[in-house]
Structure 1
Amino acid sequence: MDQIAINTSQNVNINFTLAGIGERILAFFIDLIIKGFYVFVLFWVMRNILDYSDFTRGMDGWSLSAFILIITFPIHIYTLVLETIMEGQTFGKKLMKIKVVKIDGYQAGFGDYLMRWIFRLVDIYSNSGIVGIITMVASKNHQRLGDIATGTAVISLKNNVNISHTILEQLKEDYVPTFPQVILLSDNDIRIIKENFQKALKSDDRQIINRLTARIVEILKLEPDSIPFTQRQFIRVVIKDYNFYTGKDS
């Protein structure tokens, strides 16, 4: 499987498996089925319950087109809305366990999802998906034009442990946290810290531990001399404190 190295906000490279073209196509068709089901239910209700003819009686062609556009509007913004609120996933992508991410390591924002959504007109709808497939095959990171324009890629989550699992730590009932500043971190920050810390411990890579420590100290605005722990103890405490304050306790 092809992989992509993403430089995270902690300035550490992590390899992710790129989503296959087949997975992306299947996710698209799953979403298409969901949208088709919505249209079916919508027009069934209009015809059998609300009497569709009452709404359209006397409408000219333009008015009828506008009416249809309005009632089907949710399917047109389906991808944009879901990728925005589900952080790079639609229901189809979620079922296929794939996700849109920024190559530079930052979280994709609404502007990125909007640009990808607009480019779907070129990548998918204007040519039955031919342009999108060709660019995904030809590009290094399986990117369609919308991905290239926004600096995003679609990765597979199948071989990665879910974020909500990787950040969990066993906490004792009487655990007392040390650094309330950990709330400045995000789930993704903690996942990255924990993954790289575990890798560094296995290989005894002190350089990564030093870099992780320095980055955490910077984000939490701590004075290095005031930390009463070794670097390894400090990172463990930060992870546990985050779990304590966010309630993510297994």
Structure 2
Amino acid sequence: MSEISINTTQNVKINFTAASVGVRIAAYLLDFLIRIAYLVVIYVVLFNVFQIDALLEKIDRWSAIAINLVVCLPVIFYSLIMESIYEGQTIGKKLMKIKIVKLDGYQSSFSDYLIRWFFAIIDIYAFFGLIGIISLVSSKNTQSLGDLAVGTTVISIKNDVTINSTILEELSSEYVPEYPLVIKLSDNDVRIIKETFNKAMVKTDFEMIGKLKNKIEQVTGIKNNSRSEIEFVRTVLKDYNYYTQNM
């Protein structure tokens, strides 16, 4: 699996693992089964409960086509609707633990999902998906044509979850916070700070820790006058946990 480096909006680079072609295909097949199950259930209900077959016999051909089209709309727009609601995931992607992300670090917009949905005609349905597979295999960041068009890719979010891989920090019952202004940060900000801090500590990259400290001060307005840069970042992480868990 290839590594993808994404420069976040906080100007911090984070590496992700690209979702493999096999996993992306598996997610699509799961979504395909969900769509088939919907059609089976809806038509069983319409024909057996509402006796729609009698209605279809009484109306003209174009009206019958219109009714069937309306019934099929959730199937046609399934991926667009799900990815817009769940921020880059369908049910299949959730089950396979993969997600659509922007390579520039920004949140994908509805227009991004719309363009990807349109390009699925070529990526998935043209030549039995051969064009999409060739694009995934040959592109640098494992991107389909739809991904290339809007600057997205699909990453794996399957990780062994420990306290070190979340924004949580272990706090004693006697812990006293120092920086109330940490509440200006978001969960995503803190996740990025912690991931970057942990990587910097492993590599003893004190320059990166200094950049983190400066960025935290800039965003929150906190001024560190006494602690070392390492202790300052650690205190910010703990204070954020304290305030968010006790609000």
TM-score, with length taken from structure 1 = 0.89
Q: Which runs of 5+ in 1 are unaligned?
A: none
Give the secondary structure class of the aligned counterpart of 2:58: coil
> In the TM superposition, what are the counterparts of 1:135-214 in structure 2 within 5 Å?
135-159=135-159, 161=161, 166-214=166-214
Q: CA deviation at 1:248?
A: 9.1
CA distance in 2, matches of 1:67, 1:164: 53
Give the secondary structure class of the aligned counterpart of 2:100: strand
Amino acid at match of 2:69: L
Aligned position for 2:243: 245
Aligned position for 2:229: 231
- 1:70 correspondence with 2:57: no
Matched residue count = 247
CA distance in 1, matches of 2:71, 2:216: 49
Q: CA deviation at 1:203?
A: 2.8
TM-score, with length taken from structure 2 = 0.90
> In the TM superposition, what are the counterparts of 1:1-250 in structure 2 within 5 Å?
1-159=1-159, 161=161, 166-222=166-222, 224=223, 227-247=225-245
CA distance in 1, matches of 2:154, 2:199: 24
Identity, % of aligned positions: 49
CA distance in 1, matches of 2:8, 2:210: 16
Q: Which runs of 5+ in 2 are unaligned?
A: none
CA distance in 2, matches of 1:184, 1:119: 39
CA offset digits 1:95-116 (Å, max 9, x no partner): 1111111111222222211221
CA distance in 2, matches of 1:158, 1:119: 26
2:184·2:220 contact (CA, 8 Å) conserved in 1? yes
CA distance in 2, matches of 1:19, 1:82: 19
CA distance in 1, matches of 2:181, 2:66: 52
CA distance in 1, matches of 2:162, 2:79: 22
**Aligned Cα RMSD in Å?**
2.4
1:163·1:188 contact (CA, 8 Å) conserved in 2? no
Amino acid at match of 1:7: N
2:165·2:195 contact (CA, 8 Å) conserved in 1? no
